[in-house]
Amino acid sequence: MWLTLTDSITLYHRIQDDYIAWADKTGGSVVELHAYCYKETEFPTQADLLATFEAELYEIVPSLRQAQMLHRQLVNQKNFAGFPPGSFAQRPETSTAVPNLIFAGDWVKMPFPCGLMERAVSSGLLAANTILQRQGVQRRPLLSVNPEGILKI
């Protein structure tokens, strides 16, 4: 099965203390699925979203098919930026040719892999460094992984 909705999964019962304690006590799991910027035309109802999430959950973690679901909650927020394939080339970088125009946010082109909040914070630091450099002041370092393989831009 190809995943059509789920783009991240978190097993909170393995990483967050209160959920670890609950899982140790009950033998249960706390699982979160995410779908950033899905196409609403493909999933027009909450029932469509939930059914697809459930099918994909069992595809990702087959052992959960046997589990009894105690609770599920759909939170549908529309506050995430989404970027279609191929849009990277059209995004502006933090620095521009206009002396007093600098961009920062989760939508700018970055020289290393990052996304969402990380991109907003990193681009803000790059923008601040551009200002510091123009003022002749020492810039702040920004460390990142060396983009290799599928992470290479």
Per-residue model confidence (pLDDT) at position 150: 65
User: Tokens representing 28?
Assistant: 């249960």
The answer as to whether 72 is a domain residue is: no
33: helix, strand or coil: strand
| Tokens found for residue 21 | 């304690």
The answer on 57 and 23 residing in a single domain is yes
Residue corresponding to tokens 């996304």: 115
Question: Per residue of the chain (153 residues), what is the pLDDT tens digit?
Answer: 677 889 889 999 999 999 999 999 999 999 999 887 788 899 999 999 999 999 999 998 899 999 999 999 999 887 777 777 788 889 999 999 998 899 999 999 998 888 788 999 999 999 999 999 999 999 999 988 777 776 666
The total number of structural domains in the chain stands at 2
Domain identity same for 94 and 146:
yes
Distance CA 80, CA 136 (A): 36
How many angstroms separate the CA atoms of 31 and 14, rounded?
A: 10
Q: Mapping DSSP to helix (H, G, I), strand (E, B) and coil, where does residue 125 land?
A: helix
- C-beta separation of 111 from 123 below 8 A: no
Q: Do 109 and 143 belong together in one domain?
A: yes
Shared domain for 28 and 58, answered yes or no, is yes
The two structure tokens encoding residue 130: 């551009």
State the pLDDT at residue 4.
84
CA distance 57 to 6: 8
Residue 41 domain flag: yes
Structural domain that includes position 57: 8-66
Amino acid at 40: E
pTM above 0.85, yes or no: no
Q: Is 26 a member of any domain?
A: yes
- Hey, which residues does 32 pair with through a beta bridge? 10
